[in-house]
Amino acid sequence: MRCLWGILGGIAIELGEAPIASVGELARVSNAFTVDRACDVSAAEGGRFILSERPIEPPYVKDYDAIPGEAPTQWARRFDVSRWGFVRAQSNGRLIGGAVIALGSVDVGLFEGRQDLAVLWDIRVAPHVRGQGVGSALFEAAEAWAVARRCRQLKIETQNINVAACRFYARHGCVLGTVNRDAYPQLPHEVQLLWYKDLADTKRLDAG
């Protein structure tokens, strides 16, 4: 396993690839956030999209792990995770975040039938260290993991109510490629956003 040590936002972190069998431990890191804004999406020239933010009243808390079957402890039961990757972030031996990259799972519809596409299945950072660069370090590690396995693109699903995630992916060079307003019948106020990051120019790093 290849480990990277560094100081981000005043905290020492260690990044390293962990066995996918241990991914359930990510449930210890909350991915909940407060929804107080949403992104409205409009089409632009050249097939591009424009996002504009609007306030949400009253604010509420979104917790993806609270959705039945969506917590990290459930993934291995629902999907073939044998080719998935798990990059773990720790500080002083304490888990503070992680990124999970899905690869080659025929039971996951996000792959579009492609063998050169990796899906950033999950990326999360503990609330007390958010905004200090840990998420960026994890994202870059996920890119490197995908590149080392000859993937040409990284795909990420989020929703228009996750404004911080939309800003994060745009800042890291992702392009919004698909907008699906009917993806969540049980949550008609949420719009599915699918982002893509080309990996052709990403520097190749050791896989681990």
Interval 128-157: pLDDT, tens? 999 989 999 999 999 999 999 999 999 999
pTM: predicted TM-score of the whole model, two decimal places? 0.91
CA distance linking residue 109 with residue 79, whole number of Å = 11
Supply the mean pLDDT for the chain.
Answer: 91
Q: Tell me how far CA of residue 16 lies from CA of 53, 80, 99, 204, 205, in angstroms.
A: 35, 22, 10, 16, 13
Give the strand pairing for 153-159 and 192-198: antiparallel
pLDDT band at 44 (very low <50, low <70, confident <90, very high): confident
Mean pLDDT, rounded, for 12-21: 93
pLDDT of 201 over the 90 cut: no
For the chain, state the CA radius of gyration.
17
Looking at the chain, list the stretches that DSSP marks H as alpha helix, in order from N- to C-terminal side: 72-78, 134-148, 163-171
Mean pLDDT, rounded, for 49-66: 97
pLDDT band at 7 (very low <50, low <70, confident <90, very high): low
The superfamily (CATH) of domain 3-198 is Gcn5-related N-acetyltransferase (GNAT) (3.40.630.30)
Strand partners, 49: 43
Residue 2: predicted pLDDT:
54
Mean pLDDT, rounded, for 70-80: 94
Residue 8: predicted pLDDT:
63
Six-digit token pair at 101? 């990259």
CA distance linking residue 195 with residue 120, whole number of Å = 10
**Whether 112 contacts 91, CB under 8 Å:** no
- The domain spans of the chain are 3-198
Query: Which among 40, 28, 29, 26 is positioned nearest to 159, based on CA atoms?
Result: 40
pLDDT band at 45 (very low <50, low <70, confident <90, very high): confident
pLDDT band at 207 (very low <50, low <70, confident <90, very high): very low
Interval 90-133: pLDDT, tens? 998 899 999 999 998 766 789 888 889 999 999 999 999 999 89
